[in-house]
Structure 1
Amino acid sequence: MSEGDDARSAGNHPSTFYGVNLGLPEGAQRPEDVPLVCTSIQEVQAAVRTHKTARFKQFTCRELAAVYSGQRLEPAEPTSPAAAPAAAAGGEKPSPFRNPTRPEFQAFRSLVEHGDEAAAVAEPGFFRILYPDDEPEVASARARRVTDLYLNVPTKGTYETPLHLASKLGHVEVVRELVRHPACKRDVRNKFGETPEQVICKQSKGGESADAARQLAFLLQDPYYVQVLADADGCEPPVLAPPCSPQQGRPVGESPVQSPDSPLGSPVGSPLRPRAWAGPMPRQLADEFHRRWRSPLSVSPLRSRKAHALDDVRLSDASKGWERVGRGLASELAVEWREYWPFLDRHLDIGSQAGLQALEEHLHRQGCAVLDTQSLPVLFQTLRRAECGR
């Protein structure tokens, strides 16, 4: 037999067969225009276009293809989300909220760039919105977990946390924002066994690396705070607490802390609440701050006029005496300051930009005249003079 005869013989006997099952209900007759077995994909496509419930399968034997075409198949499971909601991975209940759009992502990015996003993700109320059926303890656990991932998740290769990277590159402000959060871990070691304090400015560029290194060394020490505690009713005089750190807890013999009002909180079971605090700062500076805040006379052996005035203010003004002395001391030692203002119901530094903004918003809410930005510092100075003149 010639090669041409072999080719014609192969063309007359195809090796691939397609069984087309139309998915007809029981008892229905098969249309004559659709064969049981197709030998070309074009025939299959024509049948599938005509009958939407049709399914096909490829075989190497005509008889098997015919059997598949003639048997009754179970109807296909619905695949649309409306017909059959998908189960979440790991048994997690799916969120009832849609995915955010691109403009919403841009708006969230703007909030991240201009606000404290770590405090936002640490708020249990955020997770109660996403998972309204969760218990409060579960929502708090979610917030702690996400906050830990946000602040302390390391890189895969070198196992460096965000604090490692910011310290290594000499980014002082980034480190300042990270260590401001009590959940930020300062003692995590990277692949080479180094803590963030040990990699300060290793890859820093520029001529200001020496100054940045001093600031970073200051920031990466355990943060200490000095706070004034007072009861809510004001029946008892305020108490100046010893310096303590969120990383190390309160001094020996005192209860742990749990209130979110300040970085340190309040003693468990105690009616005292933080009324003002200074920090964060290194332990040595915290000890000096505490000593000078407790007794201005300890600064100098001579009873100077300034020491007399500070001591008189602290003892005579029960409402803001401790705060007035601490506020000036924080300004002198360049330490962050927060105090409670009842009319704002917040702890903040009223002289900072955030404090002035809060004051302006309060005045607007009270129906006062609109104040421009330049007049707010003047108002603040007026308030201070009025307070000092009591």
Structure 2
Amino acid sequence: MHVAAKENQAKIAQLLLDSLENPDFMRLMYPDDQEDMLQKRIHYIVDLYLNTPDKAGFETPLHFACKFGCPDVVNVLCSHPGIDKNCKNKDGLKPCDLICSRKNKTQEVKQRIEEYLEDRCYVPLLRATDNTSQPIIGDPWSPESSEGLARNQQHTRSPMDPLMTVTAFAGPLSPFKAADFRRSWKTPPRDRAEFYNILKSDLDRGAEKVGRDLAHEMGHPWAEYWGFLDCFVDLSSPEGLHMLEEYLNRKDFSVPDSSRSRGE
């Protein structure tokens, strides 16, 4: 992970994390583990890859990514809930103290790294599981703080209230960008009157459509739940298109012989 961080290989860093957190992959190495033991082992190994310092400067992969000016890797590392952003090296310096100290990067790169080091916030869309109430654009929530989640849960105050579930979200974003996005999503600007009309007229998917279009316009990550894929994904992204293509390739669109016979 240190090498990937130094060389700005964000895809390699993400692949490492995805592989280590894949139970099927880990079970190849530990086939006799019970499920709870396997999950504990995964958590332990991922923590080692994320937060183990090197022997020379006692620096973690995040230290490396920051000091060599590698924003894409900083983004991958800081998006993981297990990252320790406050670990100090042998000189008592945190990753935020070393931004671009070993590489002369532009101010834009430095600013991107600073933003990625902030709390990672998500702006959720919550819908009633029985579709009996209006969708709710929730407050920004960070896995590093339970306050936003607690505020969102206040929407369900009574046993008679419908059960709410997250159906889409934007993020991860910095706290400032998350608040700005939520404001635009909840109350679209005057020059985007069509967004307001969609929110009011399409109660089934209107909030998702407006959130999706806003996220794409503002360059923010976006994901929504698709039942046929059973996951959260942005279908317009390369990853989403790949998943959709795989799904269509697996699906059998052939008409049964009995149906053809009835049609004839």
> What is the TM-score normalised by the length of structure 1?
0.55
Q: Structure 1 unaligned runs (5+)? A: 1-111, 257-269, 370-390
Give the corresponding residue for 1:351.
236
Does residue 116 of structure 2 align to residue 219 of structure 1?
A: yes
| Higher CA-based Rg | 1
Match for residue 291 of structure 1? Answer: 183
Within 5 A, what are the aligned runs for 1:268-347?
271-296=163-188, 299-300=189-190, 306-307=192-193, 309-347=194-232
Bigger relative contact order, structure 1 or 2 (CA pairs below 8 A, ≥6 apart): 2
Q: Which amino acid aligns with 2:228?
A: F
| 1:151 is the counterpart of 2:50 | yes
Aligned residues between the structures: 237
Q: Which moved more, 1:159-168 or 1:181-190?
A: 181-190
- Point out 4+ residue stretches in structure 1 off by more than 3 angstroms: 112-115, 123-135, 231-237, 252-256
Identify if the C-alpha distance between structure 1 residues 124 and 359 changes in structure 2 by more than 3 Å, giving closer, same or farther.
Answer: closer
Aligned equivalents of 2:228, 2:250: Cα separation in 1: 12
**Preserved CA contact (<8 Å) 1:232 1:272:** yes
8 Å Cα contact 1:124-1:142 kept in structure 2: no
Say if 2:138 and 2:152, in contact at 8 Å, map to a contact too: no
User: Sequence identity of aligned pairs in percent?
Assistant: 34
- 1:347 positional shift: 1.0
Q: Distance in 1 between matches of 2:144 and 2:75?
A: 16
CA offset at residue 124 of structure 1? 4.0
- Note the 1:1-390 alignment, pairs <5 A: 113=12, 116-205=15-104, 208-251=105-148, 253-254=150-151, 271-296=163-188, 299-300=189-190, 306-307=192-193, 309-367=194-252
Residue 336 of structure 1 and its aligned partner are, at CA, apart by 0.7
Deviations 1:318-377 (A, max 9, x none): 2211111111111222111111122222211111111111122222223569xxxxxxxx
Name the CA shift for 1:133/1:227 in 2 (closer, same or farther; >3 Å). Answer: same
Please identify which structure carries the higher helix content: 2
Per the TM alignment, residue 165 of structure 1 is displaced from its structure 2 partner at its CA by 0.3
